[in-house]
Structure 1
Amino acid sequence: MAEDNAGNKESAPATADEIAGYDITSPTSSISSIYPDAYWQNQTTNITSTPSDNLELKQVSLYYRFSLDNSTWSDWTLFETISSSPWNWTFTFPDGMGYYQFYTIATDSAGNTETKTMAELELGKPIPCYFTYSYPVNKQPILFTDISSISTHTKWIIDGITVAEQTFPNGTHSPFNLTYAFNISNIYNVTLWVYNETFDISNTYTVNLPVKRNFTLDLSPNHIGINYVAYHLNTTTNASALMDLLNLNKGEWIHKFNETSNKWMSLWKYNDTVKLGDNFEINPWDVVVVVISNSRTLTIDVTEKVNTTQTKVLQKGYHYLSWSDDTKILSCDIDEIGLQSGDWVFKYDLQNETWLSYNFGLSGDIFEIEPYDCIVVNLADTRNIVIGG
Structure 2
Amino acid sequence: MRVVEAFRETFDAEPRGVWHAPGRVNLIGEHTDYNDGFVLPFAVPWGVTAAVSPRADGVVRLWSLQAGTPLTVETLDEAEGWARYAVGVFWALREAGHPVGGADLVIDGDVPRGAGLSSSAALEVAVGTALNELYGLGLAKMEVALVAQRAENDFVGMPCGIMDQAASALGEQGKALFLDCRSLAGRTIPLDLAAHGLQLLIINTGVHHELADGRYARRRQDCENAAKRLGVDALRDVTDLAGALGRLSGDERRRTQHVVTENHRVEAVIGLLRAGAVREIGALLNASHLSLRDQFEVSCPELDVAVEASIRGGARGARMTGGGFGGSAVALVADDRVKTVRDAVTRAYAERGWAAPGIHPATPAAGARRLA
Q: TM-score range by the shorter chain?
A: under 0.3
Is the helix fraction higher in 1 or 2? Answer: 2
Is the strand fraction higher in 1 or 2? Answer: 1
TM-score (norm 2): 0.23
TM-score (norm 1): 0.22
Largest Rg, 1 or 2:
1
Task: Give the structure, 1 or 2, with the largest relative contact order (CA under 8 Å, sep 6 or more).
Answer: 2
